[in-house]
Structure 1
């Protein structure tokens, strides 16, 4: 995560806003404990000697901390690895049931509440669809969903839930016309305190984050592109958005909105246009509705798109053109390893989009730039939900 996230709990995080922590609910681990947990999370498992070496702690200090984390149920030891000489090496890894995180993803077409364990496995998830984000519906579903998920846990598991992460679009009240939502209803979100509203339904700490930043964080922590140091992350949802990873850390900028690719201007005829106007699912939905095609499949939890849909081929062409423009611009400024493309679309559609982007990039005039890779996201369509459930785990157990 970003350097400022390595500060103490009293310093604000640029990644999320945080509610006032109820008395006795801080749960923040000591700095060296979080250093070790973060290191193990990155490498999946490590022996004590490697942990001491990579953290700069003495062998004795590392042993004391690791034993404490194991006693607290956050770490577990694996089978000893016997080398050619010396004592067997015992690897330590995170214990799945050591901690849990709750996440509430507030989207433009749906809302989702998820519970993940310490390894990022989804243990429970509930979803509700809507035509547009409505405050009263959000409050009802939050209260009902949190109660339902927590009631399925035993007493010990409830005690290991670290908090509630909330992820939602930046300035959700804007672009009412593109979203097909009543302007007056969306405008209510501008003054609505989401943190305070969610806090009414739980005694756990609550964290608020941009939804595409949360998706990017999920790719960083749980994805398969661990070899990448610097990349732009694009998420094709109702509105396209994104995030930035620099030096293997989530880079969010001064206001937490870095990587907002949807707001980038794109070359499209003679008018002014943003990337979200061409590379977002709302554009495809609008075109399909004009052809009297039922678009409910676009917002299904695990969507399967019908074959031979009209307008899809053209939308994919326009989306790819805009994404490649954004990719080249970001690469020119930041000299990236790659651009990772994810979305709330079936894998087959994502692969077609990626292939079209690769073709356009190959034909683009990139003189003066180093080669740039385009890669598929590895977390999947639920990246935003996974990312927001991970917020309390990051806040309390990571740097």
Structure 2
């Protein structure tokens, strides 16, 4: 969903080149930027070959993008016959974007550059999210964040993306709050309100879908063409990538894997959400007399009893393995990627356990997916939110440039 405040063009404030791109020229410039996003630095000859455009057209596009500061020259490639080739790549400072994660236990706002690097981050913890608190935090944090950057950087901000759970009001029991505490979410258009408060174009997406999009756009290493993505936050959620394209679904909630029924390890059934979410670990920590609120302080390192964390990871892994096998009966995903708000070592432990449990699941008639760790980490949701304006302003549909990049 895209919300553009009155008086702000779809291309956002700042007068970047996107404001006058139309038709074929817009498509070709987006194609070049998307290939550079996907492949890294490339020479004019490589871009000509991969786009199918004429060398003259590619030269014109590259000149225009360089003039706009969206791409920059790399180091000359020497050692070949003739003049050294000079590759071009995305300029880190060519564009910026803001990403807001609305979580069940915290709010995060990040300022991200064109390469997906987080420049600034602000966070606020809460017991549960309310619309008023989210709008207030977004307005204040955006103002503070923009006051810390120069005029040129502000002019290059593409917009604000929001990654948030859908139907928040339905989770009052699980959050342990009165129903009326969350009912305000049913009627409020949070994107429109934040857009009006900040004056920025706003793009809204389901939080787990946004995290999956961050993995697809900014993730490291080779990505499978088809994968199911698990993100473990307060609740576990998911995303779907088919043929290199993020699939949000009809309602934007595709990959709502947390609602899937899986074995509970005691002979019964339970939802994946009630076994593999961090809310479960939070309750376990509280029952053990640990300061469970520290779970949300920093995801880079946990200082909790290892046996307790391992017990949670073991149950979560068994459930995720069952969900992965169930998903394989619907679509033959090449892989399932697992990421979340946790230290890298805990993620590695979880992935190892999922693989072990998956081996023991009968797979007659289906091909079980590979189990791999995600590469973005804890801040995938806020980074995914920030990717929304960048994609909308400068890139082709993910499927288009992933397919082009596959050649």
TM-score (norm 1): 0.92
- 343, 346, 350: which is aligned to 1:346? 343
Match of 1:43 in 2: 39
Match of 2:14 in 1: none
Match of 2:86 in 1: 90
* Unpaired segments ≥5 residues, structure 2: 12-17, 397-407
- 68, 73, 80: which is aligned to 2:76? 80
- Write out aligned runs for 1:1-399 (5 A): 17-27=1-11, 28=18, 29=21, 30-82=26-78, 84-268=80-264, 273-308=270-305, 311-370=308-367, 372-399=369-396
- Provide, for residues 254-296 of structure 1, a one-character-per-residue CA deviation record: whole Å limited to 9, x for no partner: 2221111111111235765211011101112123323332201
User: Does structure 2 retain, via aligned residues, the 8 Å contact 1:109–1:131?
Assistant: yes
User: Does structure 2 retain, via aligned residues, the 8 Å contact 1:76–1:94?
Assistant: yes
Cα distance in 1 between the residues matched to 2:304 and 2:8: 54
Deviation at 1:327, TM superposition (A): 0.8
- In the superposition, relative to structure 1, how do residues 306 and 83 fare at CA in structure 2: closer, same or farther (>3 Å)? closer
- In the superposition, relative to structure 1, how do residues 291 and 311 fare at CA in structure 2: closer, same or farther (>3 Å)? same
Three-state SS of the structure 2 residue aligned to 1:119 is coil
User: Does structure 2 retain, via aligned residues, the 8 Å contact 1:323–1:357?
Assistant: yes
Deviation at 1:21, TM superposition (A): 4.8
Deviation at 1:371, TM superposition (A): 5.0
* Unpaired segments ≥5 residues, structure 1: 1-16
Cα distance in 2 between the residues matched to 1:86 and 1:57: 23
- Provide, for residues 94-149 of structure 1, a one-character-per-residue CA deviation record: whole Å limited to 9, x for no partner: 00100000011110000011100000010101000000002222122111100110
Cα distance in 1 between the residues matched to 2:80 and 2:289: 70
Cα distance in 2 between the residues matched to 1:369 and 1:87: 53
Count of paired positions: 383
Match of 1:4 in 2: none
TM-score (norm 2): 0.90
